[in-house]
Homo-oligomer: A and B are copies of this chain.
């Protein structure tokens, strides 16, 4: 691999001069030397060693992102927002998938810290696990203590900058809508119990139902993984236990789609017999049949805001941006009564 000295030697200048022309230092260099250096760079196909550069300037480079799984549409939308802002500012992203393993998340924080990333962004639901939170906060604090920046998306654990989708309010809207449509017997396909997203959404839903004097018995809530197939399985269990359900609220769209698919396989018509509600409004919610009534979260926007927070130091006081959720009525919930 050609080094800066190779370039300098070939151009007949000192490494200092070569360095100056290569990264456009403020120090002026005569056109002639500049030309020779550029020539040498081209001939040797020289590319500066990024590690050496980062070591020498003590300037931090890329931004680290920890998500549960980029191939999950929820996260790919967020990532798209992150990317957009990062790219605008000429930052490279290092994306790490924790696959919902808290330990891996911890490891990645260390790893990113070691890579001197300018900021770490944690996206996706947090966990109900005091020990984990303690460890995570410890590591993040150590990172921030040395000038690193941290922003989280949809997590309560961290006390610094955060972008928070209003899960609770969104779920409340969902509950309101279900009551408005006259549903009494409601089943809920929830996400993993350990995730705060699950409990936030469940809380909002319960609040709305309570306002209408309805309760949500424990056996009407099934906890499952946040994916399609688990959603289908949970729906099956719900239906088996309580055949009279008129509505199923899945706490994310993937699971709602699983529910739809299961209902179809059992020849239960949606929305005539059972209404289905999702959460997140992923792009494909428009493409399933019937189209999915759901709560829209501005995912791309959330990513963009988080990156903006992470890259802008601010005055040190924690900034929390709450983004509103919105009800999107489509066909899976049927027409309004009357």
A residues touching B (Cβ–Cβ < 8 Å)?
Answer: 1-2, 45, 47-55, 62, 69-71, 73, 76-77, 79-80, 83, 92-97, 110-111, 113-116, 138-139, 142, 146-147, 228, 257, 260-261, 283-284, 286-289
> What are the nearest 7 A-B pairs in CB distance?
A289-B289, A71-B76, A45-B142, A51-B51, A1-B146, A50-B114, A50-B115
Number of this chain's copies in the assembly equals: 2
Shortest Cβ distance from A148 into B: residue:
B1
Q: Chain B's nearest CB lies how many Å from the CB of A73? A: 8
The 8 Å CB contact of A283, one of B62, B111, B228, is B228
Shortest Cβ distance from A64 into B: residue:
B92
Known A-B contacts A80-B71, A97-B83, A289-B289; A51 and B55 likewise in contact (beta carbons under 8 Å): yes
Jot down 19 A-B pairs with beta carbons below 8 A, ordered by A.
A1-B147, A2-B146, A50-B51, A50-B111, A50-B115, A51-B52, A51-B115, A52-B55, A71-B73, A71-B76, A73-B73, A92-B94, A92-B96, A93-B95, A228-B283, A228-B287, A260-B287, A284-B284, A288-B288
Residue pair A92, B111 in contact (C-beta under 8 Å): yes
Chain B residues within 8 Å of A96, by CB: 92
Chain B residues within 8 Å of A287, by CB: 228, 257, 260-261, 284, 287-288
Residue pair B45, A49 in contact (C-beta under 8 Å): no
Shortest Cβ distance from A51 into B: residue:
B51
